[in-house]
Amino acid sequence: MDDYPLLNLFLTMMYFFLWVMWFFLLFKVITDIFRDDSLSGWAKAAWLIFALLLPFIGVLVYLIARGRGMGERDVKQVKEQEEAFRKYVQKAAGSDGSQSQVDELAKLSELKNSGHLTQEEFDAAKAKLLA
């Protein structure tokens, strides 16, 4: 360790960090190329070839030309995911505007107890509701 000064260790760690960050940026650009619905297939292929054959120039040109759209597409995707999650939770909780199965079963039981439904009708409605 005596022949490897602290400054060289610092520079090596910085280069390694920059190398890892470069790959994150490259993958981010590649995923954005495929996520963009406004690009045609040929345009996606051209950007991908440009980014892979001339990685530094290709990625930097992509960021300059389409960087604002990257952020907008990210925000749009997050909003769509949040909305899908919200709908799933509402559906699972039964609060999506329709009555939950528990409420429907309670009404069926009340109708059976009041004599408006026979046992067979109640069982058929209950099986249909739970299916």
Question: Burial of 68 by CB count in 10 Å (0-12 exposed, 13-18 middle, 19+ buried)?
Answer: exposed
Residue of 94, 98, 30, 103 lying closest to 66 (CA atoms): 30
Report how far residue 96's alpha carbon sits from residue 112's, in angstroms, rounded to the nearest whole number: 27
Residues 55 and 119 in one domain: no
Are the C-beta atoms of 94 and 100 separated by less than 8 Å? yes
Residue 9, token pair as written in the block? 């260790």
What's the pTM value of the predicted model, to 2 decimals? 0.58
Q: Domain range spanning residue 39?
A: 6-98
Number of domains, the chain: 2
Q: What average pLDDT does range 17-30 have in this prediction?
A: 93
- Report the residue count for the chain: 131
pLDDT tier for residue 97 given thresholds of 50, 70 and 90: very low
Asked if residue 23 and residue 82 are part of one domain, the reply reads: yes
> With bands split at pLDDT 50, 70 and 90, how would you rate the model's confidence at 122?
confident
74 is a domain residue: yes
Whether 1 is covered by a domain: the verdict is no
> Are 88 and 61 found together in one domain?
yes
94 and 117: one domain? no
Note whether 93 and 106 are same-domain residues: no
- 32 & 46 share domain: yes
pLDDT in tens, 78-93: 999 999 999 888 877 7
Give the model confidence (pLDDT) of 50-73 as tens digits.
998 998 899 999 999 988 889 888
- Do residues 108 and 49 share a domain? no
